[in-house]
């Protein structure tokens, strides 16, 4: 197991190098000369040369790549072009709000979708099953944008049940006042595909022979579902959950945008809006690292809950 983890970590090196190369090509070659963006409207040749020197743009491309590589290895991406704050400081202050929204959303969504999927799978073929599947299909066809726009308008503006948007410094106030509506809308968006996927996981497990064996030896339906089917059906669920973790704080991008939550997703959008390259590069590197680590973690968890799996 230890050797496996070491080997996987070692395999991340070329991938990280590739991500760095991709970002370098994007922002240093495709992106053109950023000094014009930085200089603003009143630029002279002197200021441009000065900025280029500060950014290291007057050096050769390999030398520039080395500068970037050093930034990645020390995880120090310099200062933001638009706010002049250190990038690390910006990101550190953004991760909290993102998690405040994303973690409760993940937990509630997982709990609800697994329960509903299990019930629907148990009564599969019945009217309930058909109605739920139909609702899921219809719900998935509407753009997430529409749910958020309509939800914010009706529930917050018209009915006044929630504040329209906002954020405070206290965690309790955030959880109590500002999180419920984004959480609810996030659930509406994510429940339908999750239920459909988990339902198919359950149905696949319920067709196996061991279920018939369990029935034959006289186990109650409850015990079959909860002790036998559930445990096996949760294997793909846990895997997909682990894979979705790094997407989480970007998945809430739209919600953060609409509800003024100062999280990672909002920061990415602002950075793209203002051509704030250091921030985009930093976030991409961090997310790539998180994705690779969570993929490894998913494989390990997979092994732990299913001893049949061989790690290669």
In the complex, the residues that contact another protein under the rule CB under 8 A are 14-15, 18-19, 21-23, 26-27, 30-32, 41, 137-138, 140-146, 149-150, 152-153, 157, 246-247, 250-251, 253-254, 257, 268-269, 271-273, 275, 277, 280, 283-284, 287-288, 291-292
CA distance readout (Å), 174 to 91, 177, 301: 19, 5, 32
Q: At what angle do helices 180-206 and 127-141 cross, to 10 degrees?
A: 130
d(CA 131, CA 70): 56
Convert 136-186 into a string of H (helix), E (strand) and C (coil): HHHHHHCCHHHHHHHHHHHHHHHCCCCCCCCCCCCHHHHHHHHCHHHHHHH
Min separation Cβ 117 and another protein, Å: 18
Q: Distance of CA 5 to CAs 73, 213, 250, Å?
A: 21, 37, 27
CB closer to another protein, 194 vs 214: 194
> Nearer to another protein by C-beta: 67 or 164?
164
Residue 43 is classified by DSSP as: -
The number of residues in the chain equals 312
Provide, rounded to whole angstroms, the least separation between the CB of residue 220 and another protein. 29
- Smaller CB distance to another protein: residue 175 or 297? 297
Query: Torsions phi, psi of 79, nearest 5?
Result: -110, 150
Query: How far apart are CB 187 and another protein at their closest, in Å?
Result: 18
Choice between 214 and 249, CB closer to another protein: 249
- Cα separation, 197 vs 118, whole angstroms: 11
CB of 24 to another protein, least distance (A): 12
Structure tokens given for 45: 């040749």
β partners of residue 79: 86
Min dist CB 169 to another protein, Å, is 27
Query: Which one, 49 or 142, has the nearer CB to another protein?
Result: 142
d(CA 296, CA 310): 14
Q: Which residue has the tokens 């990672």?
A: 264
Contact yes or no for 294/243 (Cβ under 8 A): yes
Which is closer to another protein, CB of 88 or CB of 139?
Answer: 139
Tokens of 159: 């009915």
Instruction: Please say which residue, 153 or 176, places its beta carbon nearer to another protein.
Output: 153
The CB-of-240 to another protein minimum distance in angstroms stands at 14
Shortest Cβ 168–another protein spacing (Å): 23
Nearer Cβ to another protein (42/170):
42
Give phi and psi for 86, each to the nearest 5. -60, 140
CB of 92 within 8 A of CB of 282? no
Between 175 and 260, name the residue whose CB sits nearer to another protein: 260
Write down the least CB distance from residue 172 to another protein, Å: 29
In the complex, what is the shortest distance from the CB of residue 35 to another protein, in angstroms, rounded to a whole number? 15
């Amino acid at each position: 197991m230890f050797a496996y983890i070491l080997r996987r970590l070692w395999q991340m090196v070329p991938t990280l190098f590739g991500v760095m190369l991709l970002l370098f090509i994007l922002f240093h070659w495709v992106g053109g000369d950023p000094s014009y963006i930085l200089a603003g409207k009143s630029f002279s040749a002197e200021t441009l040369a000065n900025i280029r020197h500060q950014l290291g743009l007057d050096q050769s491309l390999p030398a520039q790549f080395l500068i970037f590589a050093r930034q990645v290895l020390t995880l120090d991406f310099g200062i933001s072009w638009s706010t002049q704050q250190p990038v690390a400081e910006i990101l550190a202050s953004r991760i909290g709000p993102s998690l405040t929204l994303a973690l409760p959303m993940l937990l509630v969504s997982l709990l609800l979708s697994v329960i509903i999927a299990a019930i629907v799978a148990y009564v599969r073929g019945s009217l309930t099953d058909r109605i739920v599947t139909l609702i899921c299909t219809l719900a998935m066809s509407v753009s997430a944008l529409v749910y958020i726009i309509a939800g914010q308008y009706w529930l917050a503006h018209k009915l006044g049940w929630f504040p329209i948007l906002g954020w405070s410094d206290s965690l309790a106030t955030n959880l109590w006042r500002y999180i419920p509506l984004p959480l609810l809308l996030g659930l509406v968006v994510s429940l339908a595909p999750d239920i459909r996927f988990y339902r198919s996981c359950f149905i696949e497990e319920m067709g196996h022979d061991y279920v018939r064996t369990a029935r034959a030896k006289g186990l109650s339906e409850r015990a079959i579902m909860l002790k036998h089917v559930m445990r096996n059906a949760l294997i793909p669920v846990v895997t997909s959950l682990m894979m979705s973790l790094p997407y989480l704080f970007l998945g809430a991008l739209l919600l953060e945008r609409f509800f003024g939550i100062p999280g990672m997703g909002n920061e990415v959008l602002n950075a793209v809006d203002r051509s704030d390259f250091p921030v985009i590069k930093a976030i991409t590197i961090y997310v790539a690292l998180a994705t690779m680590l969570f993929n490894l973690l998913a494989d390990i968890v997979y092994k732990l809950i299913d001893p049949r799996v061989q790690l290669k």
